[in-house]
């Protein structure tokens, strides 16, 4: 059976940058096994499948990496919402608001058109998970093939998808880092999160950071842009007592060494010292459309 798909690049204003995404805007009838096979076939960091709504006023969405289904991810959420607007699957005029029903729950997304570009912003309300037990800086240095002195701090955080964050001493260290699979298996593969987001830069409000991300367990060697990690990062940092004020912002640049520069804006909002919501936003560029022939063996009977 033929299914339409669209390809976009997320967190970039123009094609062939940012993070690639394949979107099936009507995936009715495809089994979970079929979705996983299709995601592996595209072999992008994620592929999304839009399904019939389970709740009035929402759009059901499932997200797959080449290796597994994930409950939430940033660039697939924003990219899918932009595709639905681009291809007129939602009504109205700019700005468009929709609620995506993902495994993690409901995610609000606002899409607007500015100077011919489509911009998406997702917002998650609720608690940012920040469990203890993160590896030592020495252990993370070994995972990243760096010297221990090049890792400033390590911590866990997540908003639907968990990450291990490592702040490095310099942009050069970020570029030089390389996952040591043996060290990753020993020191991180069975931890609360084995997804590694490593970065350097200015962590003050309005600061800019330079980042990379690797998720070996999900089949993602390196991700050009990781919206869910940026949401967790800005939320975790905003939770710290030393960051005063009700709004905390970071600009994140990722994917540069891969030749797929991505620009992500992340915002955390606080009330009475507690984070109440996190948002990430960026542009989405249209690339291509086509049809994929899905065999009956992976369709729901």
What is the C-alpha to C-alpha distance for residues 165 and 157, in angstroms, rounded to an integer?
A: 7
Spell out the residues 6+ positions from residue 244 whose beta carbon is closer than 8 angstroms to its own: none
Sign of CA dihedral 129, 69, 227, 197: positive
Concerning whether 222 is annotated as a catalytic residue, the answer is no
Element (H, E) at 105: strand 105-114
CB 225 within 8 A of CB 255: yes
H runs (alpha helix) in 87-239 = 137-143, 171-176, 181-187, 227-238
CB 37 within 8 A of CB 296: no
Which of 224, 263, 287 shows the shortest CA–CA distance to 12?
A: 263
Dig out the tokens for 111 from the structure. Answer: 């899409």
What is the C-alpha to C-alpha distance for residues 178 and 10, in angstroms, rounded to an integer?
A: 24
Burial per residue of 34-68, b for 16 or more beta-carbon CB atoms within 10 angstroms, e otherwise: bbbbbbeebebbbbbbbbeeeeeeebbbbbbbbee
- Identified catalytic residue from 33, 41, 46, 208: 46
Backbone angles phi, psi at 130, to 5 degrees: -135, 70
What is the C-alpha to C-alpha distance for residues 109 and 92, in angstroms, rounded to an integer?
A: 15
What is the C-alpha to C-alpha distance for residues 192 and 293, in angstroms, rounded to an integer?
A: 38
What is the C-alpha to C-alpha distance for residues 121 and 1, in angstroms, rounded to an integer?
A: 33
Catalytically active residues, by annotation:
46
């Amino acid at each position: 059976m033929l299914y339409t798909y669209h390809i976009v690049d997320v967190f970039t204003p123009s094609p062939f940058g940012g993070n690639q995404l394949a979107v099936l805007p009507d995936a009715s009838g495809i089994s979970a096994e079929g979705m996983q096979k299709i995601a592996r076939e595209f072999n992008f960091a994620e592929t999304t499948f839009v399904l019939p709504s389970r709740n009035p006023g929402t759009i059901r969405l499932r997200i797959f990496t080449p290796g597994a289904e994930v409950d939430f991810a940033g660039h697939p959420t924003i990219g899918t919402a932009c595709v639905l607007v681009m291809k007129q699957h939602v009504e109205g005029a700019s700005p468009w608001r929709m609620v995506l029903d993902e495994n993690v729950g409901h995610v609000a997304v606002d899409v607007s058109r500015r100077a011919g570009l489509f911009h998406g912003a997702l917002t998650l309300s609720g608690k940012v998970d920040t469990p203890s037990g993160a590896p030592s800086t020495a252990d993370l240095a070994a995972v990243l093939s760096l010297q221990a002195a090049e890792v400033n701090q390590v911590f866990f955080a997540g908003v639907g998808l968990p990450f291990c964050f490592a702040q490095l001493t310099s942009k050069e260290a970020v570029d030089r880092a390389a996952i040591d699979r043996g060290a990753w298996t020993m020191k991180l593969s069975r931890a609360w999160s084995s997804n590694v987001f490593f970065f350097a830069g200015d962590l003050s409000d309005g600061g800019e950071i330079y980042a990379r991300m690797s998720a070996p367990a999900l089949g993602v060697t390196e991700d050009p842009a990781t919206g869910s990690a940026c949401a967790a990062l800005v939320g975790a940092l905003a939770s710290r007592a030393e960051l005063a004020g009700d709004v905390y912002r970071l600009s994140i640049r990722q994917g540069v060494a891969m030749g797929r520069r991505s620009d992500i804006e992340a915002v955390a909002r606080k009330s009475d010292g507690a984070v109440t919501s996190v948002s990430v936003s960026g542009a989405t560029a249209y690339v291509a459309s086509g049809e994929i022939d899905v065999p009956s063996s992976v369709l729901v009977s």
